[in-house]
Amino acid sequence: MTITTAFTELIGCRLPIQQAGMGAASTPELAAAVSNAGGLGMLTATSDDLSADIDATVRAVSGRPFGVNFLMPFFDRALLDAVAPRVPLVEWYWSQPDPVLINVAHDAGALAAWQVGSVDEALAAVDAGCDLIVAQGIEAGGHVRGTIGVLPLLDAVLDAVDVPVVAAGGIGTARGLAAVLAAGASAARIGTRFVATLESGAHPTYKQALVAAEAADTVVTETYSVWWSDATHRAHRVLRSAVEAAEALHDEFVGDVSGDGEPFPIPRFAVRPPNRGTRGRIDTMALYAGQSVGAVRAIVPAAEVVRELAEGAETLLRGVESATKPSA
């Protein structure tokens, strides 16, 4: 199936669904599964080996588009220079949009996007040259930049800019996708639902905690700020149970994680969410989750999430169209 919007036309995909870049959850398997299902899969520049991730994704998607997300507190300019010529889309989050960086993407032939949390940031992103922007509401899982809900933000951003706008935050169902498309978004960015998929690199205990949680079980906090370099903006949405479990502990370290080298210890309140290689008190770590978490019912293949959202949204939007068509 196909749902055509300004986003799908710009990106060259079939469906208006973008998977959020999400640290170690965003494996090449996840990005490829989303892109192959018709959406836009995203890798993350915080990966241990982004170059290998890009190789694996390129092999798996046979020409379909995907992107790379840079989270500014961990930004590496040399990595951007290396990556931009290899991917269709480069995207940033968590700082004022920077025209110098956007030019690097454009000069390399990539599209450029910025996730923003306010109308001012949206305007700055467009002024800086972005081809599309992501408007993130306070319902979102992970770090949250703004203070208002996705619908009022989307409304104001759509009035202010003329590039395609992707809506993010708390969207986990076909109704949510249909709502933001009907409101004028060109796509929805989905995070939490894709953490709870077979292909995501999140720790299995984290995925199960998402299955068990409801929308009211998340909280915006500054609890998990160890290793986060921005002292002025630290807000993030996580499962409340994780905050409570971490606060009840008094240990300096809550576990360790192995990457390519020796395992290294994870301090209590570290910003890093648990992945497949993490051991220890997973329940106390940064279990990022949006208000969309109520829609997580099981750990399923990512393509199933894409299909569920797209097919359901298409049916709903067709219903809206016939219900609102003036009678002859």
* Contact footprint for ligand FMN (CB under 6 A): 20-23, 25, 44, 69, 71, 93, 115, 136, 139-142, 168-171, 189-192, 195, 273, 288, 290, 292
Angle at 113 (CA atoms; ends 107, 114), nearest 5 degrees = 125
**Cβ-based neighbours of 43, under 8 Å, separated by 6 or more:** 21, 26, 28, 31, 50, 53, 54, 57, 66, 67, 68, 69, 87
Quick one: 96 or 321, whose CB is closer to ligand FMN?
A: 96
Quick one: 191 or 280, whose CB is closer to ligand FMN?
A: 191
Tell me which H or E stretch contains 212.
helix 204-212
Listed residue (211, 209, 201, 237) closest to 222, CA to CA:
237
| Shortest Cβ 144–ligand FMN spacing (Å) | 8
What is the C-alpha separation between 5 and 3, in angstroms, rounded? 7
| Shortest Cβ 195–ligand FMN spacing (Å) | 5
| Shortest Cβ 328–ligand FMN spacing (Å) | 41
Quick one: 204 or 319, whose CB is closer to ligand FMN?
A: 204
Give whole-number Cα distances, 132 to 84, 92, 208, in Å. 16, 11, 34
What is the C-alpha separation between 61 and 282, in angstroms, rounded? 32
Quick one: 91 or 314, whose CB is closer to ligand FMN?
A: 91
What is the C-alpha separation between 91 and 22, in angstroms, rounded? 12
| Shortest Cβ 40–ligand FMN spacing (Å) | 12
Q: Which two tokens stand for residue 328?
A: 């002859």
Quick one: 38 or 290, whose CB is closer to ligand FMN?
A: 290
| Shortest Cβ 290–ligand FMN spacing (Å) | 2
